């Protein structure tokens, strides 16, 4: 098989790269995706908060993915699903070895290759947490897959280690599904996640965030029975005497992501110890001729919008390479790594009047004071959304609920959903009860109303993915 | 009535069962765990020791050299991973040179071939990254590495194919003398047998004490290990031991047959026979000690840590018929180099049984066993062939180790097939890579449930209570 451009990975990076290369005039493209559908990790990130930059609106992960999938389909850019690439070699042409059930093992020759395989989570072993090795220790992403894709619950009583966004999101997700999240422990004195997520994933549900705490032992031989949580000192060493035994059956780990570069290394590209991704030049070209890289393979991004933007550039550069030939490689340029989120909510915050805005990732600290006549004076917000949020929060707080609804039938087990608009915070429990009791049948399209007037709020629960 | 009941499906029990399956006798292996290879045999160094360690004249010395000689041929016959990579015992101090020479003499007395002492420069020629303090080393080219699960599972499968019954999840609760032989009481019923072979690892003392007045006491000696990513730089080719120093016994640094770096073990006598937890102190000790052997250990690329228990009895193995319990054969205190010795222990114990039962050989004994084909190790042509025979070999489940659905299904369907995710892991390596099953766990659980015809909530990691997912009913109650 011969192709102009082969893209390895059909997640947000791969799809954005494919679309941009297509726009630049390279039409002979093939996306190779190891999963059964395009979209990558977005498909299991059923919460909202995506797309503010790319689409100027707040979308869930599956909705963000669906928009790109639709664009890919409109342009008839072909993809092979359930297909694993086992080897990539650069040069002219590049050679890709892949396999799938239908075609067996096969080779593709391509003028250029874009690596867009994403990243993976740091495991328990890499964290060297001592203790037994029972079942019930999951990376947050594995648990997310179980809950949001397989529709299965991996435990009842949860401790989350690491307060990255996935950890915070999963704390809320498990709580919404009925589990009890005992705490989120974070070894650093600040959270690695966004302020808005601390507010809407932990504070909303009364889940304690224990900063400067870590898990120092795992108990239980067959299944997790508990963990020891200890306070750490400035050098992150556990402080003797601070140990607390926490009963739980599940430990979720959200302790960092690592670019997945086995194929890149197999291709012989030079790696950057800092980003843990390939060394690239200003045109996102690796040190091996014809091989480009973008997205979380290159470095771990904070927002999917940034992945899409960078990957579109990679697509354009690859198209230029295919159409106009190789240029002088030039200098290595390290991609701008976003400053690591170091969030703490002000400890002395008067929670009655000082609010953290959850409208966007910035998380402004807004003060809302009630005058004698009952009207509100709102300060500290940097946009209109903030004012609206504060007003709501002081009078009738509202939230968007994201979850999944069961599907009848075997193939796909659940469909992700959201409340079409925000509902009163006090109605979340009732809303979840209805969502959990609902079963629908495929096909389902994004926006289809699955529950009308949920919890008597007047608001519908709608599908956020296309199924069937 | 059985002729033989073997208690314990570790490497010793399985080696004995396989050896005895050559004869026309009725054999059963009882194992309390839900799979074979669940105790000491699954958590050790995976080393085929050349044989210079043991004191000349001991059973350890004799069986080590025999086992080491048998292992290569056995790996071909039963298709498990084995690599003769040679070993070096590193010496860090001129004052210890005499100990190195003593070790060489011991090896020669034990019959180890081709051992010699190398100067620092000669060591550097073999292993350029050895520590700066290394002054000399004992080189044993016959030293090798083996896959401990591969070996144990191969022995068990072959024994099963040759008619040995395996009862898993069966815990022996009592052994009593009966009219002719013994009655073995288990949680799943009672069995009569002429001969009992006690290969119960750290529990062998408890079984022994059920039948003998001469009490035995085994001490579980915990050894912790760290395992590093295959992609780590600076993985040595040889197995690097340390000559014991004033600071105590050293740790080893070795490649595994699958290309990972393994360092450890610690040696800590504990009380708890299930105490396989790792400790902060243990992991620190390994890091510290191993740094002597290799200049820059890739300790940032540790992918997992684990601990195993060795059954420490005395200076030597305890193998033989118990004096006040005829027909009850102990295979106890099988600590290092027990894995190396396994093939020799099998033959040695079979010899004892022959003297007791005078069994005749089976004509239909099948000596060869074919393992699960590995897509990761196969050539492109072999891969094509596997996929064209069964497309499931093109469906990669574990991306770190490139293990396919075909291999996982084979692991479940073959004799003594896997029933747990740990069983899948030890048979196929799915979940053994750098993400430690983060990606493949849901898929492996799904395949196991499909193949076994059960709900996913019934799938276990290893033990009875090691569930992954709530039952749908339990979920509704949340």
pLDDT confidence of residue B246: 65
Residue B427: inside a domain: yes
A156 → closest Cβ in B387, B435, B478: B478
Angstrom distance (rounded) from CA B348 to CA A359: 74
| Same domain, yes or no: B194 and B247 | no
Residue A40: inside a domain: yes
Angstrom distance (rounded) from CA A125 to CA A135: 14
Which residue from A minimizes the CA distance to B390? A101
DSSP tag of B114: S
Q: What is the CA radius of gyration of chain A?
A: 23
pLDDT confidence of residue B303: 94
Q: Which residues of A touch B465 (CB under 8 A)?
A: 222-223
Question: Which residue out of B466, B474, B477 would a mutagenesis test of the A interface target, given it has the greatest number of A Cβ atoms within 10 Å?
Answer: B466
- Torsions phi, psi for B214 (to 5 deg): -80, 100
Residue A243: inside a domain: yes
Angstrom distance (rounded) from CA A161 to CA A182: 11
Triad B264, B269, B272: Cα angle to 5°: 110
| Same domain, yes or no: A127 and A251 | yes
pLDDT confidence of residue A277: 96
Mean pLDDT of A130-144: 96
Boundary (domain end) residue, out of A370, A395, A420: A395
Q: Please count the structural domains in chain A.
A: 4
Q: What is the mean pLDDT of chain A?
A: 95
Residue B365: inside a domain: no
Q: Write the CB contacts of A262 (distance below 8 Å, at least 6 apart in sequence).
A: B231, B399, B400
- Torsions phi, psi for B87 (to 5 deg): -130, 155
State the residue for tokens 């926006």. Answer: A447
Angstrom distance (rounded) from CA B387 to CA A394: 63
State the residue for tokens 């809320």. Answer: A172
Indicate whether A411 pLDDT > 80: no
Closest CA to A310 of A131, A116, A137, A153: A116
Instruction: List, for residues A330-340, the tens digit of each pLDDT value.
Output: 999 998 887 77
pLDDT confidence of residue A351: 78
State the residue for tokens 């044993």. Answer: B140
Boundary (domain end) residue, out of B253, B279, B312: B312
Indicate whether A286 pLDDT > 80: yes
| Same domain, yes or no: B196 and B304 | no
- Torsions phi, psi for B463 (to 5 deg): -85, 170
| Same domain, yes or no: A169 and A251 | yes
| DSSP string covering B51-74 | S-SSPTTSHHHHHHHHHHHHHHHH
Question: Which residue out of B220, B440, B442, B447 would a mutagenesis test of the A interface target, given it has the greatest number of A Cβ atoms within 10 Å?
Answer: B442
Contact B429, B408 (CB under 8 A): no
Residue B421: inside a domain: yes
Residue A334: inside a domain: no
Contact A125 B436 (CB under 8 A): yes
Q: Write the CB contacts of A410 (distance below 8 Å, at least 6 apart in sequence).
A: none
DSSP tag of B44: S
| Same domain, yes or no: B327 and B209 | yes
| Same domain, yes or no: A13 and A45 | yes
Residue B162: inside a domain: yes
Angstrom distance (rounded) from CA B472 to CA A177: 12
Q: Please count the structural domains in chain B.
A: 3
State the residue for tokens 């048979």. Answer: B427
The domain that contains A250 carries what CATH number?
A: 3.50.50.60
Residue A448: inside a domain: yes
| Same domain, yes or no: A320 and A391 | no
**Residue-number span of the structural domain to which A135 is assigned:** 123-255
Cα torsion A168, A170, A176, A182: sign: negative
Contact B422, B461 (CB under 8 A): yes
b/e sequence A271-304, b meaning 16+ C-beta within 10 Å: bbeebbbbbbbebbbbbbebbbbbbbbbbbbebb
Q: Give residues 383 to 422 of B whose Cβ lies within 8 Å of A.
A: 383-384, 387-388, 391-392, 394-396, 399-400, 402
Q: ipTM, 2 decimals?
A: 0.95
Each residue's pLDDT tens digit in chain B (478 positions)? 999 999 999 999 999 999 999 999 999 999 999 999 999 999 999 999 999 999 999 999 999 999 999 999 999 999 999 999 999 999 999 999 999 999 999 999 999 999 999 999 999 999 999 999 999 999 999 999 999 999 999 999 999 999 999 999 999 999 999 989 999 999 999 999 999 999 999 999 999 999 999 999 999 999 999 999 998 888 999 999 999 776 667 899 999 999 999 999 999 999 999 999 999 999 999 999 999 999 999 988 999 999 999 999 999 999 999 999 999 999 999 999 999 999 999 999 999 999 999 999 999 999 999 999 999 999 999 999 999 999 999 999 999 999 999 999 999 999 999 999 999 999 999 999 999 999 999 999 999 999 999 999 999 999 999 999 999 888 778 8
Whether chain B has a CB inside 8 Å of the CB on A120: the answer is yes
Residue B287: inside a domain: yes
Whether chain A has a CB inside 8 Å of the CB on B277: the answer is yes
The domain that contains A445 carries what CATH number?
A: 3.10.530.10
pLDDT confidence of residue B247: 63
| Same domain, yes or no: A158 and A237 | yes
CA distances from B152 to A269, B50, B51, B311 (A): 39, 20, 20, 17
Which strand (E) or helix (H) includes residue B175?
A: strand B172-178
| Same domain, yes or no: A277 and A244 | no
| Same domain, yes or no: A36 and A132 | no
Q: How far is B381 from chain A (nearest CA, A)?
A: 9
Instruction: List, for residues A28-83, the tens digit of each pLDDT value.
Output: 999 999 999 999 999 999 999 999 999 999 999 999 999 999 999 999 999 999 99
B274 → closest Cβ in A152, A153, A221: A221
| Same domain, yes or no: B253 and B303 | yes
Residue B14: inside a domain: yes
Tokens representing A465?
């993915």
A251 HSE (CA, 13 A, CB side) = 30
Tell me: cis bond preceding B140? Omega within 30 of 0 counts.
Answer: no
Instruction: List, for residues A356-373, the tens digit of each pLDDT value.
Output: 999 888 899 999 998 888
Q: By percentage, how much of chain A surpasses pLDDT 90?
A: 88
Whether chain A has a CB inside 8 Å of the CB on B435: the answer is yes
| Same domain, yes or no: B263 and B352 | no
* Catalytic one of B49, B208, B238, B258: B49
Where does residue A40 rank: exposed (0-12), middle (13-18), buried (19+ CB within 10 A)?
buried
Q: How far is CA B379 from the centre of its chain?
A: 28
Q: Which residues of B touch A138 (CB under 8 A)?
A: 438, 441
Can you tell me whether residue B249 is helix, strand or coil?
Answer: coil
pLDDT confidence of residue B300: 87
Partnered with residue A365 across adjacent β-strands are A356
State pTM to two decimals: 0.96
Question: Which residue out of A98, A151, A153, A271 would a mutagenesis test of the B interface target, given it has the greatest number of B Cβ atoms within 10 Å?
Answer: A153
Which strand (E) or helix (H) includes residue B109?
A: helix B97-110
| Same domain, yes or no: A79 and A46 | yes
Closest CA to B131 of B288, B249, B302: B288
| Same domain, yes or no: B174 and B198 | yes
Q: Which residues of B touch A436 (CB under 8 A)?
A: 476
| Same domain, yes or no: B393 and B454 | yes
Angstrom distance (rounded) from CA B110 to CA B105: 9
Closest CA to A318 of A292, A286, A348, A347: A292
Whether chain B has a CB inside 8 Å of the CB on A179: the answer is yes
| Same domain, yes or no: B31 and B179 | yes
Q: Which residues of A touch B384 (CB under 8 A)?
A: 104-105
| Same domain, yes or no: B303 and B273 | yes
**Three-state SS annotation for chain A:** CEEEEEEECCCHHHHHHHHHHHHCCCCCEEEECCCCCCCHHHHHCCCEEECCCCCCCCEEHHHHHHHHHHHHHHCCCCEECCCEEEEEECCCCEEEEEEECCCEEEEEEEEEEEECCCEEECCHHHHCCCECCCECEEEHHHHHHHHHCCCCCCCCEEEEECCCHHHHHHHHHHHHCCCEEEEEEECCCCECCCHHHHHHHHHHHCCCEEECEEEEEEECCCECCEEEEEEECCCCCECCCCCEEEECCEEEECCCEEECCHHHHHCCCCECCCCCCECCECCCECCCCCEEECHHHCCCCCCHHHHHHHHHHHHHHHHHHHHHCCCCCCCECCCCCCCCCCECCCCCCCCCCEEECCCCCCCCEEEEEECCCCCEEEECCCCHHHHHHHHHHHHCCEECCEEEEEECCCCCCEEEEEECCCEEHHHHHHHHHHHHHCEECCCECCCCEEECCHHHCCCCEEECCCEC
DSSP tag of B323: T
**Residue-number span of the structural domain to which B15 is assigned:** 2-41+149-217+315-357
pLDDT confidence of residue B231: 87
Which strand (E) or helix (H) includes residue B328?
A: strand B325-332
Partnered with residue A30 across adjacent β-strands are A6
Boundary (domain end) residue, out of B357, B391, B419: B357
| DSSP string covering B261-305 | EEEE---EE-S-TT---B-HHHHHHHHHHHTTTBSS--GGGEEEE
| Same domain, yes or no: A211 and A107 | no
Residue B46: inside a domain: no
Contact A142 B439 (CB under 8 A): yes
| Same domain, yes or no: B307 and B331 | no
Contact B111, B51 (CB under 8 A): yes
| Same domain, yes or no: A379 and A407 | no
Which strand (E) or helix (H) includes residue B327?
A: strand B325-332
| Same domain, yes or no: B193 and B97 | no
Mean pLDDT of A425-432: 97
Boundary (domain end) residue, out of B357, B390, B421: B357
Boundary (domain end) residue, out of A225, A255, A285: A255
Closest CA to A367 of A349, A384, A343: A349
Contact A373, A385 (CB under 8 A): no
Boundary (domain end) residue, out of A308, A324, A340: A324
| Same domain, yes or no: A15 and A105 | yes
Q: Angle of helix B441-452 relative to helix B405-413, nearest 10 degrees?
A: 40
> CB pairs below 8 Å between A and B: how many?
143
| Same domain, yes or no: A129 and A249 | yes
Which residue from A minimizes the CA distance to B398? A84
Tokens representing B132?
């700066």
| Same domain, yes or no: B304 and B226 | yes
Percent of residues in chain B assigned helix, strand, coil, to nearest 5: 35, 25, 40
Contact A248, A158 (CB under 8 A): yes
Contact B140, B104 (CB under 8 A): no
Which residue from A minimizes the CA distance to B435? A123
Triad A235, A226, B287: Cα angle to 5°: 40
Q: Is B49 a catalytic residue?
A: yes
Whether chain A has a CB inside 8 Å of the CB on B57: the answer is no
């Amino acid at each position: 098989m011969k192709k102009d451009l082969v893209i390895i990975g059909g997640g947000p990076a791969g799809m954005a790269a494919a679309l941009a290369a297509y726009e630049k005039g390279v039409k002979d493209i093939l996306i190779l995706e190891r999963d059964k559908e395009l979209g990558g990790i977005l498909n299991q990130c059923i919460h909202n908060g995506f797309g503010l930059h790319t689409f100027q609106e707040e979308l869930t992960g599956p909705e963000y993915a669906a928009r790109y999938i639709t664009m890919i389909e409109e342009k008839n850019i072909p993809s092979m699903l359930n297909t694993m690439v086992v080897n990539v070699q650069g040069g002219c042409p590049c050679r890709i070895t892949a396999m799938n059930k239908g075609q067996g093992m096969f080779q593709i020759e391509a003028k250029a290759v874009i690596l867009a395989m994403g990243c993976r989570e740091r495991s328990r072993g890499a964290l060297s947490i001592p203790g037994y090795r029972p079942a019930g220790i999951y990376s947050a992403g594995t648990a997310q897959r179980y809950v949001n894709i397989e529709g299965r619950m991996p435990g009842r009583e949860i401790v989350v280690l690491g307060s990255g966004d996935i950890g915070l999101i999963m704390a809320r997700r498990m709580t919404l599904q009925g589990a009890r999240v005992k705490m989120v422990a974070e070894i650093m004195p600040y959270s690695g996640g966004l302020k808005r997520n601390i507010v809407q994933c932990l504070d909303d549900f009364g889940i304690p965030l224990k900063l400067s705490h870590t898990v120092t032992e795992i108990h239980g031989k067959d299944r997790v029975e508990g963990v020891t949580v200890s306070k750490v000192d400035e050098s992150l060493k556990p402080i003797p005497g601070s140990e607390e035994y926490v009963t739980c059956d599940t430990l979720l780990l959200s302790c960092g992501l690592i670019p997945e570069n086995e194929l890149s290394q197999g291709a012989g590209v030079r790696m950057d110890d800092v980003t843990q991704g390939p060394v690239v030049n200003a045109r996102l070209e690796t040190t091996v001729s014809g091989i480009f890289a973008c997205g979380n393979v290159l470095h771990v991004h904070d927002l999917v919008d940034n992945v899409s933007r960078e990957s579109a550039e990679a697509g354009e550069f690859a198209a230029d390479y295919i159409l106009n030939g190789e240029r002088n490689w030039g200098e290595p340029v390290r991609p701008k790594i976003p400053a690591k989120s170091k969030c703490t909510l002000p400890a002395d915050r008067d929670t009655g009047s000082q609010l953290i805005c959850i409208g966007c990732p910035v998380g402004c600290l807004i003060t809302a004071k009630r005058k004698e006549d009952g009207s509100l004076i709102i300060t500290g917000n940097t946009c209109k959304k903030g004012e609206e949020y504060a007003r709501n929060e002081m009078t009738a707080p509202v939230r968007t609920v994201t979850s999944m609804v069961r599907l009848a039938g075997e193939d796909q087990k659940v469909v992700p959903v959201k409340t079409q608009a925000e509902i009163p915070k006090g109605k979340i429990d009732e809303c979840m009860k209805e969502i959990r009791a609902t079963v629908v049948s495929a096909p389902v399209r994004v926006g289809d109303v699955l529950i009308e007037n949920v919890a008597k709020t007047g608001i519908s629960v709608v599908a956020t993915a296309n199924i069937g | 009535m059985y002729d033989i009941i073997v208690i314990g499906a570790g490497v010793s029990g399985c080696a004995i069962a396989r050896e005895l399956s050559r004869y026309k006798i009725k054999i059963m292996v009882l194992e309390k765990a839900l799979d074979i290879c669940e105790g000491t045999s699954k958590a050790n160094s995976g080393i085929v020791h050349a044989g210079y360690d043991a004191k000349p004249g001991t059973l350890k010395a004799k069986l080590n050299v025999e086992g080491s000689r048998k292992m290569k041929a056995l790996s071909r016959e039963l298709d498990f991973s084995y690599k003769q990579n040679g070993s070096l015992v590193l010496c860090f101090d001129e004052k210890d040179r005499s100990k190195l020479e003593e070790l060489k003499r011991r090896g020669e007395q034990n019959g180890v071939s081709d051992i010699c002492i190398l100067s620092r420069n000669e060591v550097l020629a073999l292993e350029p990254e050895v520590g700066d303090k290394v002054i000399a080393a004992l080189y044993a080219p016959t030293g090798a590495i083996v896959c401990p699960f591969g070996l144990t599972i191969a022995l068990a499968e072959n024994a099963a194919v040759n008619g040995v019954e395996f009862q898993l999840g069966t815990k022996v609760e009592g052994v009593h003398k009966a009219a002719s032989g013994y009655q073995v009481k288990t949680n799943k019923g009672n069995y009569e047998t002429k001969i009992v072979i006690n290969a119960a690892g750290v529990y062998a003392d408890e079984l022994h004490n059920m039948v003998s007045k001469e009490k035995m006491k085994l001490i579980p000696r915990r050894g912790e290990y760290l395992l590093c990513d295959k992609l780590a730089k600076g993985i040595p080719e040889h197995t690097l031991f340390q000559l014991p120093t004033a600071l105590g016994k050293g740790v080893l640094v070795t490649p595994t047959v699958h290309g990972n770096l393994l360092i450890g073990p610690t040696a800590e006598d504990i009380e708890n026979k299930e105490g396989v937890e790792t400790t902060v102190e243990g992991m620190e000790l390994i890091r510290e000690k191993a740094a002597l052997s290799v200049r820059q250990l890739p300790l940032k690329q540790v992918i997992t840590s684990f601990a195993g228990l060795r059954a420490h009895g005395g200076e030597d193995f305890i193998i033989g018929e118990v004096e006040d319990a005829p027909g009850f054969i102990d295979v106890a205190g099988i600590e290092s180099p027990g894995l190396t010795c396994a093939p020799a222990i099998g033959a040695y114990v079979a010899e004892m049984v022959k003297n007791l039962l005078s069994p005749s050989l089976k004509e239909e004994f099948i000596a060869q066993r074919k393992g699960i084909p590995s897509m990761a190790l196969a050539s492109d042509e072999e891969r094509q062939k596997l996929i064209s025979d069964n497309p499931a070999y093109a469906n990669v489940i574990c991306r770190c180790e490139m293990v396919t659905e075909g291999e996982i299904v084979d692991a479940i369907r073959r004799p003594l097939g896997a029933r747990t995710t740990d069983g899948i892991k030890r048979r196929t390596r799915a979940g053994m890579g750098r993400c430690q099953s983060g990606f493949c766990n849901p898929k492996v659980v799904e395949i196991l449930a499909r193949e076994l015809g059960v709900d996913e909530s019934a799938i276990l990691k290893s033990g009875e209570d090691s569930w992954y997912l709530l039952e749908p009913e339990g979920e509704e109650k949340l």
